[in-house]
Amino acid sequence: MPQGDNTEIMILPESFKDRIKEQLKDEYEDYIGCLDKGMNHGIRVNTAKISVEDFLKISPFELESIPWTDNGFYYDDKKYVPSKHPYYYAGLYYIQEPSAMTPASVLDIKPGDTVLDICAAPGGKSTELAAKLGNTGVLISNDISNSRAKALLKNLELFGTGNMSVVSEPPNKLSERFCNTFDKILVDAPCSGEGMFRKSQSMVTAWENNGVELFAGLQRGILNEVVKMLKPGGTMLYSTCTFSPTENEQSVEYLLGLDPSLRLIDVPKVDGFDDGHPEWGNTGNKELTKCARLWPHKIRGEGHFVALIKKETDPDMCHGDASGEYAFKPYRMDTVTEEFFNKIKSDRFDTGRIEEKSGRLFYICEDMPDVKDLRLLRNGLFLGEIKKNRFEPSQSLAMYLKSDQFDNVVSFSADDIRVIKYLKGETVELEDDQDIENGYVLVCVDGYPLGWAKNNRGVLKNKYLSGWRMMS
């Protein structure tokens, strides 16, 4: 699949070019040459909603497999706009730069794991972690920026995630609560973004303004706390989208120095992946070759660094209380709410795990740790709200359900103009032969939920969440 031309003339700082020339030596000209080519574009299939095989049967795009992930594909951005297709609004895929798919693909998530994504916004990696969990275990997705965490929440809800908490806290606040708590932790660390230079000149300007030392300090502050939260026997993934040894090999060395029980394990590599470089570290640790470097002149992607670290024993590094169990308070349903939930034909959640807070209902999964006093954007699956003796189901519940899990469903084909009308928040009329009951209807595209409407004699009053609507 051809790459597009980059019409923007990139001006690189001399100090950056000097360092990259020293790093790459004979490959330097290949690297500089690749910057004149356009970015690669990718989508990642949401396997929590649809298998890769089934998606390829219905895909409206010509796709080409990305070698380092089973559910990632290149697409031609000159030919397709995946963000405008109804399947995007159904949460069937996430639009993601191809090399950025690497971290979540190589972190070996098992069903039932307790997982932390500590620098999670906007959600590309969290959504894949959630898909791997398959609504088992628990995912804590955190971003210190509250505004960015809101985008993270939307993406997790779009993907149909229920077993989650979305948090906005600094790492030290989390480590006080979650001592030796997580089976898996992903640290996609803030970085100088050298792998994103092809995206725009503004990324280069940001590099000049901030440099690598600022981000190396941030990374090490995060690592100081993350190591305390990893269970003995647990695995951590550290990644950046930069090429700087200070932020990569040297940050990994710093992490290993925090705890003698930590050891590097091999990152699975495909053709084009480089090893980490011990000579670029401060200690010459030969184990750094187990890390992976992705360079844009060697792969069809922008660039990444990935390291896998396992915690062998408990060093008893934590101070303060461990998280403990969530103090669950079950909700006794009223008649109206119970009537709605009787229409759900799902064993995906136990109605005995529903909690009420100020008229809003949440499903709290059984394994949820104690998250009290944390700055929460969402804890559990938001089910809906009780208003004036009626229950209004949430957008997140619609995305969580399968089309065969609700009694009253209407499904339109992707090329039906009514799908677009629905996504834009307009009223939709049913055909005469569509026998749909009055009341709440789960609206789907080709059998995949989009949201709610309320049917009144063949006219669907649109309940699609206003902040999610298609704007053009």
Domains of the chain, CATH where assigned? 405-472 (2.30.130.60)
**Catalytic choice (34, 179, 191, 241):** 241
The predicted pLDDT at position 323 comes to: 66
Between strands 381-387 and 182-188, the pairing is: unpaired
Residue in the structure block whose two tokens are 């990994």: 252
> Which of 146, 63, 140, 86 is closest to 370 using CA atoms?
140
Phi-psi region at 420: left, alpha or beta (left = phi > 0; alpha = psi -120 to 50): alpha
Find out whether 261 and 253 touch, Cβ atoms under 8 Å.
no
Query: How many angstroms separate the Cα of 131 from the Cα of each of 92, 105, 334?
Result: 11, 11, 33
Instruction: Tell me the three-class secondary structure of 56-98, residue by residue.
Output: HHHCCCCCEECCCCCCEEECCCCCCCHHHCHHHHCCCEEECCH
The predicted pLDDT at position 7 comes to: 45
The predicted pLDDT at position 8 comes to: 55
Torsion sign, CA atoms 284, 290, 291, 296: positive
The answer to whether 191 is a known catalytic residue is no
C-alpha to C-alpha distance for 259 and 127, rounded to whole angstroms: 30
Residue 1 CA neighbour count, 13 Å, CB half: 20
pTM of the model: 0.94
Residue 56, Cβ density class (10 Å: 0-12 exposed, 13-18 middle, ≥19 buried):
middle
Query: Could you report the average pLDDT of every consecutive run of 10 residues in the chain (472 residues)?
Result: 51 95 97 92 98 98 98 98 98 98 97 97 98 95 97 98 97 96 97 93 92 96 97 97 98 97 97 98 97 98 97 65 72 90 84 92 92 94 93 98 95 97 96 86 98 96 96 84
The predicted pLDDT at position 200 comes to: 85
Question: 32-46: per-residue pLDDT in tens?
Answer: 999 988 899 999 999
